[in-house]
Structure 1
Amino acid sequence: MTRSGGTRIPRAAALAVVVLCAVTACTNSGPLPIVSSTPGMSVVPEQTLNEVVVGVDDVKGSYNPHTIAGQSTITTALTSLLLPSVFRAAPDGTPRLDTNLMVSAQVTKTEPYTVSYTLRKDASWTDTAPMAAEDFVYLWQRMRSEPGVVDPAGYRLISDIASREGGKTVEVTFSKPYPGWRSLFSNLLPAHLLKDQPGGWASALTDSFPATGGPFAVKTLDVPRGEIVLERNDRYWEQPTALDRVVLRRASHDGTLTALRDKDDQAALIRADAIALNAVTELAKGTPLVSSVVPRSEVVQVLLRPASAQLADLKVRQALLAALDREALIAIGTGNGPSNQFRADSQVVPPSKAGYAPTIPAGVVPDPAATARLLGEAGYVRPEGGVWSRDGKPLGITIAAVEGAEPYNTVANQVQRQLVLAGIQAKVISPPANQLFGQDLPGSPNGEEGTSIDITVVPQVDTGDSAATLASAFGCRPSIGDGSTPIPANLSGFCDQTLQPVIDDALTGRTLLGDALTKIEPVLWQQAIALPLFQVADFLVVLPEAQGAAVGAPFAGPLSDAATWRRERG
């Protein structure tokens, strides 16, 4: 609980004041703060609020950071403040133990490979339930077997999790050594509330956070109004935040810039195009501000799916790839904004990350002659001015991108236009995210395809261990081996048994990732599975009033440091 000026007072003392006033009918001591119905959060009178308002493009969910469907600027912002993590990115991008949650985390056995985690005894969710081993178990079980999750390969190496000391010591046993283990168990979820939730994993954090465990708690999450209000979590066991609250407010780029000019917003985090960049330049002529580019962990890619019956033929995939103008796709997808600085010229490591090296071959350019030759070799014919067909049936391509997701829909529509110009029938569909990643792309658990999606424009996400990204995106379907639900295939359905040993060696540390990629990347380009385009980058604008607001650690987002922000009153 807080006073109107922000001073914290003991709960017992606050209760005594309320009781005393009730007994004596005192009326001249001024109003006490109103206690919110949200666990762990106090409401501060509006006139004394110490807040920072951040303009954003959108506030809609889902907010599950472990799903491909949930990837967004707003998800990264919220989870960095609301969910606990074993490790967080240091300023140089390396993983650093988060001592707000953890006492220790270390490899304690090499045979079997075991990592022991010790949590702080005072770490708890906003509903007072302790953070414990069940939260680790829940995330592991979901990540190893659910479709559409981000970088599951590391979790699939875990063979058992044991609880000790009332759940505050967690022993994680791996079937093989896993040097990337520090990338696991970020953004833990409240298992006691989610494990029996109707709709299960698919609905976890779709539109709300049932409990949180960070320096802030959710006061309101109003998608229709476009506003999320976070207030200081009074049940947080560590240093309280300097701010009373952080407000995330949706607006158009023009609306956000107007709010910055009028100082209604103190910062903005947007996916800017060239027009927005020019507008910020104009605003800076009359308003002191600092702007920065913030690369996200997402790389926009075009997947040509060998799991599709039509694209099982390598020649057809190569023909479609030769029909695409990659430069035009990058230009329209980035809008010549900050993302244009991060062209993704490799298959696995994102451009802003250490270890990135371009591997794109010289031949990835529009080549109508190659398209015609390859389709001809695959048995297709094209009458002059007509469409490509085989056995009297036109070659028709279905392209999918998540409903309402940008820049993915924009790129998908450009892919469709380019294929049509090449004489290939193509259409774009935009299913909801959970349908696309949870049903359409994985097909059935046993491998039969239940969809006719040939190409999809989706993010490839790096959660810290690029070897896990490689294994998750291009590895063959593994087997858990314990009789549980079969593991879904990767989004493209690609599997090359000759590459799999190299992928496994990179994941388990027997081979350096760079050495493995030297062997793997040329094959991936030749197989025409994925056409990486660019890494998504946000644009951060900060006024002097938002003291401490900056880019943040790599892939953590600017709001990851909001607990230390301060509001400077002008």
Structure 2
Amino acid sequence: MTQGRRRALGAVPLLVTVVSLVAGCTDAPPPQLVEPGPTTSAPSTSTPAQPMPIEVVVGVDELEGGFNPHTLADLSPTSSALAGLMLPSVFRPGQDGALQLDTNLMESAEVVPDAEKFTVRYRIKRQASWSDGAPIAAEDFVYLWEQLRSQPGVADPAGYRLIDDVASRQGGKTVDVTFSKPFAGWQTLFNNLLPAHLLRAAPRGWGTVLDDGYPASGGPFAIRQIDLDRGEIILERNDRYWGPPAQSDRIVLRAIDEARQVEALRSGDSHLALFSADAGTVRSLRDLGDQVQMMTVPRPATMEMLLRQDSRALADVKVRQAVLAALDRPALIEAGTGGGPGEQLQAHAQVLAPSEHGYTPTEPAGALSKRPDPAQVERLLTEAGYQRTGGSWLRDGRPLNLVIAAPFEHEGYISIAEAAAQQLRAQGIQATVVTPTGDQLFGDMLATDPHSAEAGTSGTVDMAVAPRPAGGDPAATMASSYGCPGVDPDSEQPLPYNAAGFCDELLQPTIDAALSGRMSFQQASANVESVLWRDAIALPLYQQAQVLALSNEATGVQAGNGFAGPFSTAAQWLGTPAENDGY
């Protein structure tokens, strides 16, 4: 550039000489000499190149359909990730895991002193709104309360069933929630609020209304595109978010298999990966050395095998105990985890998950053998009136034949169910695996009243592989998982049963006392869990967990406080320019 300029200026003296000679041959006055100015080009019609968007690419196991974080059917890493990015919550875990008020959403949330009934007043920030411009308001609280207290298959209904009324004040920005009795765990309620103005009149029911994503966002990101066939979800910054804007323009969730996860991190195609790596994949990640950082991220769910008392085949406690004696628990854990991080979080309690504060094993010593115990199986089934004939156990001429259900959407659940069926067959107990959709299993089949006409029929599920939610109020978790359902005060109809179909009227006062704070959770759970182990209601296996592998290309990524997970910090993630701007 500098040399070009010098050549242009050097031509000026020659131009002056030529012009003088021409002028001397004519009568016209010599032209006025103008000093050359900077060269200007013609106006350009092309627009300046726009900078490429900053994106973070996240490798995940799979992207399952169904995004309702409040249902057992949709309790998955995908729904947890999207909820953390898009759904507002009153309280979120702080650095120590304890719940703290989300001041991006809330002005305050506090118990009203001297109220006639236990009442909590919530004040929502005026500017808090959904991505379509509608305010986040009392109607969103009402909608969540109405659904979670009465719908079958929800993840943690007990606290919502204590609510008598949700009242709107000051244009919907103040919400008074009145409870029938004191509830010490009230801060765990109203997380992952949903846009009531869009969902209340939706043509599909609660179980499927969020199968295709969220119609609006109340967080730093919003859904741009969902392509489950391709295995990709693209999220972009929510420009209507009233809080601090996200650092990156978009986040791409990309489902790839475990081998490709490692290669994508090595090549830079993924900034981070969050997946259920098996033991071999963990070793491959470690081989990348300083190129990636690794950490284990526990998920808010414990895998367990439920044994239904309402089943005709399992109505006898001795038969349920025989089934447990026939199972190879370590092999079931291996089938579900593949030797990944969940294997290190084996569960030996009926309420709390291994990584939860206050967890201690409650499993009675020697109650369950680590490996199948054929002698115990034979003794218990014989006492229950069965005889071993031709390799099968028969009673009144009918074989002991169990139906084990696992949700169709979750491969790990199905692997556990198939392993259990094989182990039972090896002990002469016939077993069949069925794979209904999660909505069918948790919203219909397992929610049936055990005392209804439908219970105990040939179509009833005998056993089920299911998640037990974790991370909420412990007493509410115990009540949701094993408490009697009660009656809807409006319709006077029985509320849906828990997934275990368990209800013990003698234990219910203890569960209620823990829920209201009149009895400590530790004292109540000791009483409740001893009965659950004795009656062989559920076999805890392990807490779900994932590996977070982080490359050096992205900054601001953290594991997340409590069970919030890495996506709770996504607004601070800073990635790299995208290779293209197409979606």
Common fold, TM-score beyond 0.5?
A: yes
Paired amino acid for 2:378: A
Take 1:53 and 1:556, find their aligned partners in 2: how far apart are those partners?
Answer: 20
Give CA-to-partner distance per residue, 1:240-292, whole Å, 9 cap, x none: 111111111111111121111110111000101111111112222xx521000
What residue in structure 2 maps to residue 529 of structure 1? 537
1:376 maps to which of 369, 382, 389? 382
Question: Residue 387 of structure 2 aligns to a residue in which SS?
Answer: coil
Tell me by how many angstroms 1:331 deviates.
2.2
Deviation at 1:377, TM superposition (A): 1.5
From 103, 106, 116, the equivalent of 2:107 is 103
Cα distance per residue 1:327-376 (max 9 Å; x no partner): 22122222111111101011100000101001112221132222212111
Post-superposition offset of 1:28: 3.9
Matched, 1:342 2:359: no
Separation in 2 of the partners of 1:343 and 1:111?
45
1:448 positional shift: 3.7
In the other structure, the counterpart of 1:507 is 515
| 1:60-96 deviation per Cα after TM superposition (whole angstroms, max 9, x unaligned) | 2210000001111111111101010001111221111
Distance 2:489 2:313 in 1: 32
Q: AA paired with 1:141? A: E
Contact 1:113 1:176 in 2 (8 A): yes
2:58/2:251 contact within 8 Å kept? yes
Aligned to 1:30: 47
Task: Indicate how the Cα distance of structure 1 residues 71 and 31 shifts in structure 2: closer, same or farther if over 3 A, else same.
Answer: farther
Query: Is this contact kept in 2: 1:301–1:459, CA < 8 A?
Result: yes
State whether residues 64 and 409 of structure 2, in contact with CA within 8 Å, keep that contact through their aligned partners in structure 1: no
Partner SS for 1:388: strand
Stretch deviating more after TM superposition (398-407 or 444-453): 444-453
Amino acid at match of 2:551: L
Counterpart in the other structure of 1:9: none
CA distance in 2, matches of 1:462, 1:389: 39
Given that 2:165 and 2:178 are in contact with CA atoms closer than 8 Å, whether structure 1 keeps it comes out as yes
Q: Which residue of 279, 284, 290 maps to 1:274?
A: 279
Q: Give the structure 2 partner of residue 320 of structure 1.
A: 323
Superposed CA deviations along residues 307-326 of structure 1, whole A, max 9, x for unmatched, are 21221111111111111121
Select the residue among 445, 452, 464 that pairs with 1:456. 464
CA RMSD of aligned residues (A): 1.7
Whether the aligned pair in 1 keeps the contact of 2:479 and 2:512 (CA below 8 Å) is: yes
1:176 maps to which residue?
A: 181
* Structure 1 segment 369-408 matched on structure 2, within 5 A: 369-383=375-389, 385-408=390-413
From 354, 357, 361, give the equivalent of 1:358: 361
Match of 1:117 among 117, 122, 132: 122
Residue 84 of structure 1 aligns to a residue in which SS? Answer: coil
Pair 1:468-2:485 in alignment: no
The partner residue of 1:142 within 133, 147, 151 is 147
The correspondence of residues 194-233 of structure 1 with structure 2, limited to 5 A, is 194-233=199-238
Matched residue of 1:147: which SS?
coil
- 2:502 aligned with 1:498, yes or no? no
1:17-69 deviation per Cα after TM superposition (whole angstroms, max 9, x unaligned): xxxxxxxxx9747269xxxxxxxxxxxx5x52111100001122210000001
2:87: which partner in 1?
A: 83
Which residue in 2 is equivalent to 1:92? 96
Residue of structure 2 aligned with 1:480, choices 480, 488, 502: 488
List per-residue Cα deviations over 1:197-235 (Å, max 9, x = no partner): 112211221112111110011111111111111111100
- SS in structure 1 opposite 2:81? helix
Report the alpha carbon displacement of residue 304 of structure 1 after superposing the two structures with TM.
0.3
Q: Which moved more, 1:128-137 or 1:90-99?
A: 90-99
Residue of structure 1 equivalent to 2:25:
none
**2:70 aligned with 1:62, yes or no?**
no
Cα offset, 1:406, TM superposition: 3.3
For residues 207 and 306 of structure 2, the distance between their equivalents in structure 1, rounded to whole angstroms, comes to: 23
Alignment of 1:401-420 (within 5 A): 401-420=406-425
1:492-512 CA distance string (max 9 Å, x none): 211111111111111111111
Deviation of 1:445 after TM superposition, in Å, equals: 9.7
Match of 1:192 in 2: 197
Instruction: Name which of 428, 432, 439 aligns with 2:433.
Output: 428
Letter matched to residue 368 of structure 1: P
Q: Give, in whole Å, the separation in 2 of the partners of 1:446 and 1:128.
A: 47
Q: Does 1:260 align with 2:260?
A: no
Q: Give aligned-pair identity as a percent.
A: 51
Does 1:298 pair with 2:301?
yes
Going from structure 1 to structure 2, the CA distance change for 1:283 and 1:454 (only over 3 Å counts) comes to same
Q: Which runs of 4+ in 1 moved over 6 A?
A: none
Letter in 2 for 1:132: A
Q: Does 1:129 align with 2:134?
A: yes
Given the superposition, is the C-alpha separation of residues 447 and 139 from structure 1 closer, same or farther in structure 2, using an over 3 Å criterion? Answer: farther
Cα distance in 2 for partners of 1:99, 1:28 equals: 47
Aligned to 1:37: none
Contact 1:134 1:167 in 2 (8 A): yes
Which deviates more from structure 2 when the two are superposed, residues 463-472 or residues 140-149?
Answer: 463-472
Report the Cα offset of residue 404 of structure 1. Answer: 3.3
Q: Is the 8 A contact 2:307 2:320 kept in 1?
A: yes
- The answer to whether the Cα contact below 8 Å between 2:55 and 2:577 also exists between their aligned partners in 1 is no
The answer on whether the counterparts of 2:52 and 2:577 sit within 8 Å (CA) in structure 1 is no
Distance apart, 1:523 and its partner CA: 1.2
Counterparts of 1:484 and 1:63 in 2: how far apart (Å)?
A: 30
Measured in 2, the distance between the counterparts of 1:212 and 1:569 equals: 24
Bigger mean CA offset, 433-442 vs 153-162: 433-442
Q: How many residues align?
A: 529
Residue 76 of structure 2 is aligned with which of 68, 72, 77? 72
Against the structure 1 CA distance between its residues 29 and 97, is the aligned structure 2 distance closer, same or farther, given a 3 Å change threshold? Answer: farther
Gaps of 5+ in 1: 1-25, 33-44
Q: Secondary structure at the match of 2:444?
A: helix
For 2:288, what is the secondary structure of its paired residue? Answer: helix
**How much does 1:568 deviate?**
5.9
2:567 to 554, 559, 562: 559
Deviation by residue 1:404-439 (Cα, 9 ceiling, x = unmatched): 313211111111011101111100000111111111
Conserved? CA contact 2:285–2:292, under 8 Å: no
CA contact 1:307–1:493 (8 Å) conserved in 2: yes
Distance 1:230 1:335 in 2: 30
Q: Report the residue type matching 1:113 in the other structure.
A: F
Cα distance 1:568–1:223, how it changes in 2: closer, same or farther (>3 A)?
Answer: closer
